[in-house]
Structure 1
Amino acid sequence: MKTKVIGALALAGSMVFNPAIATETVSVVGSNSVTPIMEVLGETYAQSNDVTVEVQGPGSSAGVRAAQDGSSDLGMSSRELKDSEKSDNLKEVVIARDGIAVVAHPSNPVNDLSKEEVTKIYKGEITNWKEVGGEDKPIVVATRDTASGTRGAFEDIMDLKMEVNGQSVSAISQRAQVASGNGQLKTIVANNPFAIGYISLGSVDESVNALSIDNNEPSVEAIQAGEYGVQRPFLVLYKEGRPSQAALDFLAWIESSEAQKIVADKGYIAVK
């Protein structure tokens, strides 16, 4: 797993940690979806503060655990916490909101699906594009791994949970291809004209086509207006008493108007 170290000195186009300049290190671990904006925020903050920000993106579940056990100053989650994960000394701060875009290959003529159709596709009940107005071709379903906050949020929003022996488990078809991050899932869809997937709205580019859901296009404006419902919070978590003052100062800056403008400029929804 790659760790991005964002320090206070830039040399030859890359960020380099210089112990003579950066006197504090802030560790941030968690969501693969939150990682890109956290790296930008950390890099910006480090340019004017004597701080190194280390960002790792193994997934939301890992971020929750890192915050809970204090192995990281800050954790990142791209889903709401489960009741079993909450505790009085685990603090949650919403730093942004993000849409989840359902994406297909740009050559696919299907541009809109209903929420019900998306759910049936992911359950394996709709298996051919012709059933939703497309070509007579099998649908190749791509999903995220079970540690992903994006997957957790997507399952909750799209009613992709089922009860087995009294336990709530994923209803996503076991035939779905599993990707370890937004980038890998986007690559699967970009390379297959008959694939479907879901990624962070902030990760959408020209390599994929973000589909409308129930005739509502995925956009910041549609989310703010309450029209596009496939959305989730970006959370930063910390254990009370664990983070250094440098980490708390960084988090306070993330909530500032300066940092929230960066959030909005990168295609996410600012919360301040």
Structure 2
Amino acid sequence: MQTTSGLWKTMKRVGLATMTGVILFGLVGCGGETASGGAGKVSGTVTAAGSSALLPLVKDAAAEFKKTHPDVSITLNGGGSGLGLKQVSDGTVMIGNSDVAAETKLPADKAKALVDHKVAVVTVAPVVNKAIGDTVPGLTRDQLIGIFTGNITNWKEVGGPDKTIVLVTRPASSGTRALFREFALNNQEEASNKSLETDDSGTLLHSIASTEGAIGYVALPYLKNANNVTALAIDGVAPTLENTYNRSYPVWGYEHMYTKGEADGAVKAFLTFIMSDEFGKHIEDMGYGVASKIKEAK
């Protein structure tokens, strides 16, 4: 027969074993969540399309994500924010990447069905051929509006050489175009140049670099390794992350990754990874901004 002391010791051992079992069950129940964006073992498919401004960041995130989740198949395409939003709304892709809010490109009922994931901040800069940039380091807002609406047609009108201004434009579906129109052109509609129109930012930069008198605009990340082009200041303020964070530079917006309904499976894990502290350190290195660093508007 057990003594009172022996019985107490037995109860303690049973209690400890029970608590240990509960802790182990809790860990298993968590699915092995990791900083790499979800469960320890993830498989499945992720498809995304849309913003060319966001594409470099998403590609970099995909490469990093697959290092720890090699069983996930990820397919990424550009095509512009409008296309990405339409395709995620239609169910053609799982993620629609956009430089602008969904309601600016989709009917209200379709936009309402999408879930927004703000993953970064993008700064958009006016960019000119280097030969122009050597003499025109910046433009006023009024000069910029005059150029992109077609009212100013020669660089000599803004202090540059006697060269015809050549616009390198983006299609109406472009989210970068929508951002630039709103924050650089005061919502005035820009002129189009169908012969040099593209929403592929790499192609656009190549056209500017190789065309005398050319001007266009690109997201800041595309300028990190660009040659023969110059980013212009607006009203004396350079397009930098620091000036974006303190709101002195006006042309920027949030980068969105939309899903139709709540994300799950591999898509949820991928989005969790992109918005994690682990990946966050890459964002500024690539030329994007961290959303939490934007100074509050006065």
Q: Do Structure 1 and Structure 2 share a fold, with TM-score over 0.5?
A: yes
Are residues 1:92 and 2:116 paired?
Answer: yes
**Aligned ranges 1:141-156 → 2 under 5 Å:** 141-156=167-182
Query: 2:286 maps to which residue?
Result: 266
How far apart are the structure 1 equivalents of 2:182 and 2:271?
Answer: 28
Change in Cα spacing, 1:44 to 1:84, as seen in structure 2 (3 Å) is closer
Count residues with an aligned counterpart: 243
Deviation at 1:100, TM superposition (A): 0.6
| 1:209 is the counterpart of 2:209 | no
> Residue 140 in 1 paired to residue 163 in 2?
no
The whole-number CA distance in structure 2 between the counterparts of 1:83 and 1:194 is: 32
- Provide the residue aligned with 2:219 in structure 1: 200
Counterparts of 2:158 and 2:103 in 1: how far apart (Å)?
34
Partner residue, 2:270: 250
Q: After TM superposition, give the deviation of residue 83 of structure 1 in Å.
A: 4.6
- Cα distance in 1 for partners of 2:146, 2:257 equals 33
Q: Does 1:56 align with 2:82?
A: no
Q: Match of 2:157? A: 131
Distance 2:191 2:112 in 1: 36
Structure 2 distance, partners of 1:159, 1:151, is 10
Which of 17, 22, 25 in structure 1 is aligned with 2:45?
Answer: 25
Name the CA distance, whole Å, in 2 between partners of 1:63 and 1:222. Answer: 29
2:137 counterpart of 1:111: yes
Distance 1:134 1:93 in 2: 42
Q: Which amino acid aligns with 1:122?
A: F
Aligned to 2:98: 77
Aligned to 1:46: 66
Q: Which has the higher strand share?
A: 1
**1:260, 1:271 within 8 Å by CA — same for their partners in 2?**
no
Q: What TM-score comes out, normalization by structure 1 length?
A: 0.84
Bigger Cα Rg: 2
TM-score in terms of structure 2 length: 0.77
Deviation (angstroms), 1:84: 6.0
Structure 1 stretches of 4+ moved >6 Å: none
Residues 90-113 of structure 1 deviation map (CA, whole Å, 9 limit, x = unaligned): 111110111111011112210110
Which amino acid in 2 is paired with 1:70? G
Q: Shift in Å at residue 128 of structure 1?
A: 0.8
CA deviations on 1:10-54 (whole Å, 9 max, x unpaired) are: xxxxxxxxxxx9831111111111111100001100110131211
Cα 1:22–1:93, aligned 2, differ >3 Å: closer, same or farther? closer
In structure 1, C-alpha distance between the alignment counterparts of 2:164 and 2:103, rounded to whole Å: 35
**Bigger proportion of residues as helix:** 2
**3-state DSSP class of the match of 2:87?**
helix
Name stretches of at least 5 consecutive residues in structure 1 with no aligned partner. 1-20, 163-170
Letter paired with 2:62:
G
Paired residue for 1:187?
206
Q: Does 2:255 align with 1:234?
A: yes
Could you say which residue in structure 2 is the equivalent of 1:223?
244
Deviation at 1:159, TM superposition (A): 3.4
Residue 173 of structure 1 pairs with residue 191 of structure 2: yes
